[in-house]
Amino acid sequence: MSDLSAIVKAYDIRGVVGEQLNADLVRNFGAAFALLIKPESPAVVIGHDMRESSPGLAQAFAEGVTSQGLDVVHIGLASTDELYFASGSLNLAGAQFTASHNPAKYNGIKMCRPGAAPVGQDSGLAEIRDTVEQGVPAFEGQPGTVTERDVLTDYAAYLRGLVDLSRSRPLKVVVDAGNGMGGHTVPTVFEGLPIDLVPMYFELDGSFPNHEANPLDPRNLVDLQAKVREVGADAGLAFDGDADRCFVIDENGDPVSPSAITALVATRELAKEPGATIIHNLITSHAVPEIVTEHGGKPVRTRVGHSFIKEEMARTGAIFGGEHSAHYYFRDFWRADTGMLAAMHVLAALGEQDGPLSELTREYKRYAASGEVNSTVDDQVARQLAVKDAFAGRAGVLTDELDGLTVQLPDGSWFNLRPSNTEPLLRLNVEAPTEDAVRALTDEVLAIVRG
């Protein structure tokens, strides 16, 4: 088998269907995954998103798993966090077929060990790739069996058991599913709650006819923002393609930053468990650790990426973790990420008081920020080093390289410059006390990065 490093990423397998991914290759991935997790899981839970290629690829993966003597529990259409629920509640390894927010021609596999523990490059993915490249050994025993199981109702009930919306006033909420898996999960999760649901693009369609299912791109929020204003909604929610991330829009149609959501949810979790640890990655606003500390919690800073977050949550016993990309992790959800649970926390907090969402979230916004600014560069290392050299010698400046380069200035401004793992890009995030300071610092760093 040829080199598979182009599609075996840091956290999952992802590629163009028909060019990089096909049924035969996926069947081999299934067999290799079965070999990896045989000692700890007697079966594999398999789910898939709404992409046209997903059911066939999921079936091929199941054939690979059963060819190695393990059973398969097929849950069919599912969001990624629904698959994590199945893995956690059944204590079985899992595989979800999705390419998240990527365009229709892509598909991929997100895998986990029993209890939704992540499988990444350093925790099994590299071994799976090596096994497939070298040739999966044949299994001489009895093949496994496939059973079907619907877990959507149980998933919804579990989430509703974690967040109490019984004291909430009635809320009008617009949800943009982007033709992704939110259209499958939201109606069941919200059923019976005091929510007047206004659905947008709930039809499952992996060709994404309305817009890309990537709420991180502001262009994909425009329709939701307009609808929130049009119907006078209390809030808007936007899910990505596999519905594991959720972005929040306030009543004015303005996005609420994932850092503010992280801080809001953290305060609610700390109210349940005073003194608990909260994880935040190094690109979240400095308001997050400040607010966590003010509420008696212990903030812990980590690298970007779900494997680092989950590993640190396990090490510290953290109750919650949040990222700037709108991934939210809960100890009570097997340390897995679920945008749906974060959204329910926001709605519960909003519904328990009379003010609008913009007023509720204002206390969690303390600084101005640039958002992520990408630059295409020929040499990531050289450009990053040039930035470090330009700032490191200044009075009162602190630097660290936990993940890329982070520079802290004495006026409270800071920035992080990180290389992309998959593209020739440097990603810049800047935060400062004022918008003017953000613009000035962003311009200064970009002038060095872009030469």
Closest CA to 244 of 363, 329, 311: 329
Residues 51/180, Cβ–Cβ less than 8 Å: no
Residue 25 CA to residue 339 CA, distance in Å, equals: 31
Residues 147/207, Cβ–Cβ less than 8 Å: no
Residues 249/225, Cβ–Cβ less than 8 Å: yes
159: tokens are 């989430």
Helices (H) and strands (E) in the chain, counts: 14, 23
- 103 to each of 39, 51, 96, 209, 219, how far by Cα in Å? 36, 10, 17, 11, 15
Instruction: Name the one residue in this structure whose structure tokens are 């299934």.
Output: 30
- The region that residue 430 occupies, defined by phi over 0 for left and psi between -120 and 50 for alpha, beta otherwise, is beta
Instruction: Enumerate the active-site residues.
Output: 100
Closest CA to 261 of 237, 282, 241: 237
Order the strands of the 320-322 sheet from edge to edge. Answer: 298-302, 277-281, 320-322, 328-330, 336-337
Closest CA to 80 of 340, 422, 342: 340
Element (H, E) at 14: strand 13-16
Q: How many residues does the chain have?
A: 451
Residue 368 CA to residue 416 CA, distance in Å, equals: 15
Residue 352, classified by CB atoms within 10 Å of its CB into exposed (0-12), middle (13-18) or buried (19+), is: middle
Residue 363 CA to residue 186 CA, distance in Å, equals: 28
At 401, is the secondary structure helix, strand, or coil? coil
Q: SS3 breakdown of the chain: % helix, strand, coil, rounded to 5?
A: 40, 25, 40
